[in-house]
Structure 1
Amino acid sequence: MMDKVTSLTREPALNPEPLFEQIDRGMQGLIRIAALITASNRSFFDHLSTPRTPDELAHLTGCREEIVTPVCMVLEEMGCVTWYEGRYSSTPLSLVFLARSSPYRQGAYLDKTWRHIRDLWMHLPDIIERGPVSYPAEVFFATLSLPAMAENALCGRLQRITREIFMFPGFQSFRRMVDLGGGHGLYAIACTVVNPDLHAWVFDMPHVLPLASRFIREYEATRVHTLGGNFFVDDFGRDYDLVFSSSNPSGKRIDMVPRIAKSLNPGGIFVNVQSTGREDMDLYQSLELELWKIEGEEERKTGNTRVEPFMTDEYRVALMDAGLSILVEKDIKDDYHRDAFVRMIIAQKRM
């Protein structure tokens, strides 16, 4: 290595540009996220449904014009606003997914992203030594994970999955369904919208059910009910025409299969939608997964089934032994990450 004194007069043998480009690119990404979250929380995109000058936008949002202007320039570069004749306007992308007035708004997902930046990424130098951040289960699921999952699902995954259910020949004759570990309850709500005679139960831990109840009220889903319990140990009912599981251990644990089959009427269907395992994650998602845990878990990430394989040979045998025949097995696009998919099966209980 060159000594320190010599380094004052001799340039390094390597070009430093690749390093600084990486730092700049990372910092610019953080700035874009910060600008996007700030603009969404300050209702920029709602106000800019009508073209406005930076001064007008600053007045409407209670923000400083000298900061609003460069923030809008960043948003323009991102494709979230346009600039024409001295005024900014929201683009279709921001009106659909970022405006408070849109049913597809990704506000909770942005909040979760910012929370991860504050809790995890800013503290990575400490976490790498002392271990993952611990979240109480009621905080993680009810306020951090599930609201974001609900918004993500509304971007296409929910509609694609429920469309497959609605296409099942006997769906309109169904009268009872349960959504195991149903969380936000949107799948159950959607099913009752299309089948006016269907009653649905969202079964989940008691600390999660207030979120489902909130969506039930918002969508005026009077035939959707909540049922508290732990599906590993508690009874979740009988005589169902449809049992639904998505992104939770009820759909991956082999010991759940006989209980699910027992809860179904003959001819009823088990709809199971899960990630296929850790191999689906990119390196950034895999790293993030190591930075947090759920308080009280003996085994890391037991609540995050993305790390577990799905539709193994053993699981297929368990379905067959329980009297469930797979009718549909397909991948469903999940829009919240590029090239992300989940695996969906529909298995019918033999008559």
Structure 2
Amino acid sequence: MRRTQRWIKLFKSSQFSIMLEVLKLNAEWLQELLKLEELKTFAVLHGCLKLGLFEFLEKPRSAEEISKEVKLSHRAAKAVCRFLSSKGLLIEEGGKYRISEISKVFLSRRSPFSIAEVFEEKREEIEFWLNLENTMKGENLRREADFFKRRIRVLGKIALLKDLKFVFKIASLEEFRKAKRLLDLGGGHGLYAYAFTLLNEELIADVFDLPEVVNSAKDFLKPFNAQRVNFVEGDFFRDELGENYDIVFSSFNPGGKRAELIPKISRALKKGGIYVNRQYFPADGFGIEDLEWNLWGFERLKKASKAYTFEGDLGLGEYISKLEDNGFKVFEVFSKGYTAILARKL
């Protein structure tokens, strides 16, 4: 009996000690992760897109009308509308709901700027991550061909939300206002080139990219009725880039940190021309983007281990030095989640 009591006392003491150690662990981030708030918000928007709710609410509707037409319970219809209103996606007036301007532009499928297809692509991406155990075994790796088939369109639609605003920074330059020709190097979807032509009525923009990219980009850009935007097929590692450009613009393209492209860029520019290069240079640590980078492959280029880097890429300081060695004067460098380098050909 006494031996049993000693064992019970020892067990309780051990459990108490373990509990104290558990409470000292820093696991708050796991609790926040398990709330799944961003995933739940994504699911709400994805579901509303599938139901056609944003098109239905182009005219003001009551929760009762929504419930009947979209076939939701009245309680769910009202709750969803209140949530979407809190996000600025719906406007409530007199007990009725209608889509806001941001929803009309980005979430209604009737809009040429609709990101509905992005939500579907992202749903598939979630499935990819939820089956990560197979990918980590070397199965189901995403390939370059998949990137060209759908990713060009998706990247273009995502750029509309934020990244495309970078064109206003370049448009503020005196050289841009006087520019006649611009080369969008590795320009993919072509929206940057299109936006630049809207900000300079005299500008002609050429988008230079691989043939398979150009084919997808032409189809993608058709609904925008882009004027003064041309597509040039080529491989910037093998081919010359043209000449007599006032501006060469490069945004996150795979060759943007490679020394061997700098002389080609110089030859493509007029004297006094501007080179704008926007890139991700590796940060310290190893985050989720770095992990993802290692889970899909480019056949043409060998990836390095850090996100958006390839073997042979230069660091920021090295890249600036190479620009100066090739007759460029760097006049501005700034970071905003990415690094932008602005240089003038001397």
Q: Residue 55 of structure 1: CA displacement? A: 5.1
Deviation string 1:32-91 (CA, Å, 9 cap, x unpaired) is 32221121243312322333244533555xx4323x853763563363446777644435
The amino acid of 1:51's aligned partner reads P
Percentage of matched positions with identical amino acids? 28
Separation (CA, whole Å) in 2 of partners of 1:230 and 1:277: 25
Residues 81, 320 of structure 1: alpha-carbon distance in 2 compared, 3 angstrom cutoff:
same
Work out which of the residue numbers 47, 64, 80 in structure 1 matches 2:71.
64
Residues 75, 296 of structure 1: alpha-carbon distance in 2 compared, 3 angstrom cutoff:
farther
Deviation string 1:88-126 (CA, Å, 9 cap, x unpaired) is 4435554454233456543343233212112x2220232
In structure 1, the partner of 2:46 is 37
Q: Residue 132 of structure 1: CA displacement? A: 5.9
Work out which of the residue numbers 238, 244, 256 in structure 2 matches 1:239.
244
Counterpart contact for 2:141–2:296, Cα < 8 Å: yes
The secondary structure found in structure 2 opposite 1:233 is coil
1:120-159 equivalences in 2 (<5 Å) = 120-128=128-136, 130-131=137-138, 133-144=140-151, 146-159=152-165
In structure 2, the partner of 1:338 is none
Q: Residue 186 of structure 1: CA displacement? A: 1.1
Separation (CA, whole Å) in 1 of partners of 2:164 and 2:47: 27
2:323 paired with 1:319: yes
Work out which of the residue numbers 99, 115, 120 in structure 1 matches 2:108.
99
Residues 34, 187 of structure 1: alpha-carbon distance in 2 compared, 3 angstrom cutoff:
same
Work out which of the residue numbers 52, 57, 64 in structure 1 matches 2:61.
52
Counterpart contact for 1:134–1:295, Cα < 8 Å: no
Separation (CA, whole Å) in 1 of partners of 2:162 and 2:30: 38
Counterpart contact for 2:148–2:213, Cα < 8 Å: yes
The amino acid of 2:279's aligned partner reads Q
In structure 1, the partner of 2:4 is none
- What stretches of structure 1 of length at least 5 have no aligned partner? 1-5, 333-340
Work out which of the residue numbers 228, 231, 236 in structure 1 matches 2:233.
228
Q: Residue 178 of structure 1: CA displacement? A: 1.3
Separation (CA, whole Å) in 2 of partners of 1:276 and 1:142: 27
2:322 paired with 1:330: no
The secondary structure found in structure 1 opposite 2:61 is coil
Separation (CA, whole Å) in 2 of partners of 1:34 and 1:184: 27
Counterpart contact for 1:202–1:224, Cα < 8 Å: yes
In structure 2, the partner of 1:171 is 176
The amino acid of 1:343's aligned partner reads T
Q: Residue 270 of structure 1: CA displacement? A: 0.8
2:216 paired with 1:206: no
How large is the Cα RMSD of the aligned pairs? 3.6
Work out which of the residue numbers 162, 165, 168 in structure 1 matches 2:167.
162
2:232 paired with 1:197: no
Q: Residue 266 of structure 1: CA displacement? A: 0.7
Deviation string 1:150-207 (CA, Å, 9 cap, x unpaired) is 2232223322x22222222232332222111100111111122222222221111111
Residues 182, 114 of structure 1: alpha-carbon distance in 2 compared, 3 angstrom cutoff:
same
Separation (CA, whole Å) in 2 of partners of 1:125 and 1:30: 20
- What stretches of structure 2 of length at least 5 have no aligned partner? 1-7
Counterpart contact for 2:275–2:344, Cα < 8 Å: yes
Counterpart contact for 1:204–1:230, Cα < 8 Å: yes
In structure 1, the partner of 2:344 is 348
2:178 paired with 1:182: no
Residues 212, 325 of structure 1: alpha-carbon distance in 2 compared, 3 angstrom cutoff:
same
Highest CA radius of gyration, 1 or 2?
2
Residues 69, 105 of structure 1: alpha-carbon distance in 2 compared, 3 angstrom cutoff:
farther
In structure 2, the partner of 1:288 is 292
1 or 2 for the larger relative contact order (CA 8 Å, sep ≥6)? 1
Counterpart contact for 1:36–1:75, Cα < 8 Å: no
Separation (CA, whole Å) in 2 of partners of 1:315 and 1:112: 34
Counterpart contact for 1:188–1:202, Cα < 8 Å: yes
Q: Residue 318 of structure 1: CA displacement? A: 0.8
Counterpart contact for 1:243–1:270, Cα < 8 Å: yes
The amino acid of 2:71's aligned partner reads R
In structure 1, the partner of 2:5 is none
Q: Single out whichever of 261-270 and 34-43 deviates more from structure 2.
A: 34-43
Separation (CA, whole Å) in 1 of partners of 2:306 and 2:205: 23
The secondary structure found in structure 1 opposite 2:238 is coil
Separation (CA, whole Å) in 1 of partners of 2:267 and 2:290: 36
In structure 2, the partner of 1:335 is none
